[in-house]
Structures are given as structure tokens and as C-alpha cells.
Structure 1
């Protein structure tokens, strides 16, 4: 299984081309799920787990892997399913989300597939497990579900979305009637951003993907005489989103004469050097890893101060 990720570092050229690669896996049924390869550190046979007292039931225990102790989450149970019975024949996908490393217990791992974000669609509306999805796509004639990992992690250990008083000091001078646009496919992430930035007193519009964000901006730009900055002060965009990723959204914004002056903050659970390089490549003004409310609010303050001269 180790060989399945050997060439991950060679795949970074897909980033910024509205493409991604998914590592597909199963949770004990025929249904296949997918996770972005860039969030995966390693895949290995489930190691011995040490149970913790007073733990969330979906945390099966902790594992000691390469000198690091990390929690192993039973992904099926975290989504409301029954606990995985025999973990000895299962796999652990070690991932990095929102500045933390954790393992996800899965029944089996399939393979890596190359996808285009345009072919990844928002999930169908409904109850049950669909509430844990951010997107779906089709591979080999079958639906593959992309999980809202941020929601799963937030249910296990809720993130702090409260901005500190020190960060808010002096923000009354930055208040504006112009709109701050947020594009993120995770409902949990949108809620966190809204709670963190609401004290700044800036009106916000929230959309669920890059395509919707671009359409919104183009509509606003058509109403502006010279620049969209007359009505929109800032764009905060996730990177991973169905239909259009954040890099492509940023590139489209910067290529439009009426939108090129709009400042863009890329705010994502992805991490790594390749993201920093892409900030420059697509013209984004900042890149921030999720989720720190003070860091995000300070970035917004800095962008508005720069714009104001």
C-alpha cells in the first residue's frame, strides 16, 4: 500500500489547473469515497491502537507512528454508521487538515484517480449520510462521495471561531458598506468564517463553490463603472471546491480588467510548499491555513489597510 503514494510529490502540477487527484477508499460497503491526495501523508495497515478514557466513541484510540502520536477516527462511525468491528484488517489514512494530523480508519483503499473539478458536483439534497458530503463525482460509472472532513472533525473537537478583543481593537476604522465575499464548499467552514469576521462589521456574502463565486462577482462587476472594488472589498476563498477550485477562481478574477484589483485571501485546510508557490502563480494576495480566527481577521484587516493606502 505504501507504493500508492510514492509519486504524490510529482503530481503538484495538477494544482491550479482546476484538477485534483482522489485517493478512493471504502467503509465496509460497495460505496466508494474520495479524499484529495494532497491531504494524505501516508496509508498503512492499521497499527495497534491504545484506547483513551473519556474519548469520543468514534475515536478508536491513538497510534504511535514514526515518532508521532495521533488519534485514529473510525470514519464510518463518525458519520453515524456502526463501529468497525475488526480493525486488524483495516487501513489508516493519515491526513493533515486544519493544522492537525489525524488518522482515519477505513475498511479498504482502492486507488488514485485523476479528476477535473468541473466534473465534481455538489451533493444531492437529502438527509442521512449526504449531510457529511461536500461533493460527488463519477468514476467507472459509479458515484464517488467526497466527505466534509471539516464537519466530521468539528463534531469531534469543535474549532474556536471567536476573535480576540486584541484583534478587534481599532477595526472600527475599517468598517465599510462594501461586501466581503466568502467561497467555501463546507457549511461548517462558512459558519466558522462568519462567526470570526462578523465582529469586524463588514457585510458578508457566502457562496458554496468557486463557480458560484465567479458568477456572483461577474454580476457585481457588470454594475460597476470602473472596478468591482467599488462594491466588493475582499474575496476569501477555499481551494478545494466542486466545479471550480479556489486557484482557478483567483486566476479568473485577476484576469478580468474590472476585477483584477480585488484582493484575494486563499483560506484552506490544505498545506504544503506547493500552495505557497500557487499563491504567486495565480495572483492571490495571501494564503492562510484553516482555522485560526485571529489570523484570518488580521489578514482581512491588513488587506483592507493596504487597499486604503
Structure 2
């Protein structure tokens, strides 16, 4: 399993071209699931786990991996399926991943392969299935649908995050100034959108929402075609990196290549961590990078932008 993630340089070259690699895995049925390889640190056979007192059985225990103690989540149970029996854990695999500044491991039945594809082949789930699920995208492969799980929603349910902005950041003066501005946020994760909306609106900002890069681009293009100055209409765009149909890198590149909106202030944010994002942000011409999710960090970025606009 250690060799399944070896081609890091090749994957790095794909980013910014609306391409991605999915690590395919399985749980308790024949259904295949996918996770972006860039979120995966390693894949290994499940070692012996150390039990911990817990309120939820979703957390199976702790694994000691390369000198680090990492919580292990039963992904099957987390999405409402039967849990993996303790007697069968050692026949399963751990997908060690980084999300929202956390390192954790997902216990899965099997790991299949890495699939190279395009973001425009990844589709949002049908609206008819409703929002009460952990599905963030689907992808057709070999005549069957691969489901991409909204891990951010799962983690938010297990580790609820506060959306309250500190008063020393969102001061009364800041809130008064914020009421004059509108922010465009773009994210395919419902929990990420909700977190940002709550934090930004609590500061007094107006918020416009797009569910993926394609939707955001169509919105911006429509405004530009109606002679709206997009760069002043929105205080800023805060966009996720990984999204169905069009990723955040591609969205930013298209904004920068259109003279009607190329001055728009763009911040890219992601649950992916590491210096890699910073270099890619510069490559596509974004104005900054923000790691998910801390309400004060988000507020500081917005306040900095408000101050910059007021100094013009």
C-alpha cells in the first residue's frame, strides 16, 4: 500500500489544470467511494488500535503511526452504515488524511486504486436527494457511480466548530463598515458554506453563495455582461479549491484572464494544508490563502480587505 501514493510530483503538475486524482476505496458494500489524493498522507494496513473513552463509537480508537498518535474513525459507521467489527479491524485499512488542520485516519474495508480524472467530470449530487446526507459529489466510472463523501460535514458533526467571531476583531466600527460590503463565497460543502455564512453575516456583511466554481463563474460572467463592476460589487471572493465541475484554481485563472473582472480580490481556502497551496495560489494569481475553518482567521482576512478598500 505504501507505493500507492508515490507519484506526488506528477499530481502536483496536474493542479491548476482542473484535474485531480481520486483514491478509490470501499466500505461494507460493493459501492466505491473516492477521496482526493492530495488529502491523503498514507495508506496502511490497520494496526492494533488503542481504545479511548468516548461518547461516540465512530471513533474506534487511536493508532500510533510514525511517532504520532492519530484518532481513527470508522467511516462506515460515520455515514450511517453498520460499524466494522473489532475482530475484523486488522484486515482493514487506514487512510491517513489531513483535514482542517487535523490529522486523522479513516478505517475502510478496502483500498482500490488511484484514478486520474478532470474536475469537470465530477458532478454535484442530484438536488432531489435532499441535503440530509454526506454526499458532496458523484463521478461515473466503468458504468457505475463513485460517491465522494463530504468528510468536512462528518468532521463537523463529530467535532463541532464555533462560528463566533471575537469582538476584538469584529469591533463595532468594523461591523458598521462591513454593512456596506458583499462577499461572494464558493464551496461545494454545505457545512463549509454554512460556517462561513454565519461568521460573515454576524459581522454585518451581505453574502452571496455559489456551490461550485462553474456556478460562481457563471454568476460573475452574467454580472460583467450587464456592465456591473464585479471587483467593486463584491468586496472579495472566498473560494474553495476542490469543487465539482470547476476547481478554485481554474476559477481564479479565468477571473484573472477576463479584463472585466481581473481586479477582483480572490482568497482561496481549503482543508488541504501545506506550503504547496501557497505556491499554487501565487501561480494562479490569487491574493491569498486561508486554511479552513477558524472564524477569527476568516474575519481577519475580511477586515484587512475592508481596511484596504477604505484607504483608497
Q: What's the TM-score once normalised by structure 2's chain length? A: 0.95
Q: Which runs of 4+ in 1 moved over 4 A?
A: 126-130
Give the deviation of 1:126 after TM superposition.
4.8
Give the deviation of 1:176 after TM superposition.
4.5
Q: 1:219 to 1:178 in 2, by over 3 A?
A: farther
Q: 1:176 to 1:54 in 2, by over 3 A?
A: closer
Alignment root-mean-square deviation, CA: 1.6
Structure 1, unaligned runs of 5 or more: none
- In 1, distance between residues paired with 2:148 and 2:274? 21
Contact 2:28 2:82 in 1 (8 A): no
- In 2, distance between residues paired with 1:63 and 1:123? 33
Query: Which of 197, 210, 214 is matched with 2:213 structurally?
Result: 210
Give the deviation of 1:240 after TM superposition.
0.4
1:168-179 alignment runs, 5 A limit: 168-169=170-171, 170-172=173-175, 174-179=177-182
Contact 2:122 2:139 in 1 (8 A): yes
Q: What's the TM-score once normalised by structure 1's chain length? A: 0.96
Q: 1:213 to 1:129 in 2, by over 3 A?
A: closer
1:191 aligns with 2:194: yes
Give the deviation of 1:278 after TM superposition.
1.0
- In 2, distance between residues paired with 1:39 and 1:54? 26
1:219 aligns with 2:228: no
What secondary structure is seen at the aligned counterpart in 1 of 2:104?
strand
Query: Which of 161, 164, 167 is matched with 1:165 structurally?
Result: 167
Q: Give CA deviations for 1:7-46 in whole Å, capped at 9, x if unaligned.
A: 2243101111000000000002111000000000010000
Structure 2, unaligned runs of 5 or more: none
Q: 1:77 to 1:11 in 2, by over 3 A?
A: same
Give the deviation of 1:139 after TM superposition.
1.7
- Which stretch shifts more, 23-32 or 229-238? 229-238
Q: Who is 1:42 aligned against?
A: 42
Q: Number of residue pairs matched?
A: 308
- Which stretch shifts more, 151-160 or 124-133? 124-133
Q: Who is 2:73 aligned against?
A: 73
- In 2, distance between residues paired with 1:62 and 1:127? 34
Give the deviation of 1:128 after TM superposition.
8.9
Q: Who is 1:155 aligned against?
A: 157
Q: Give CA deviations for 1:80-131 in whole Å, capped at 9, x if unaligned.
A: 1111121110000000000000000000000001110000000123559981
1:96 aligns with 2:76: no
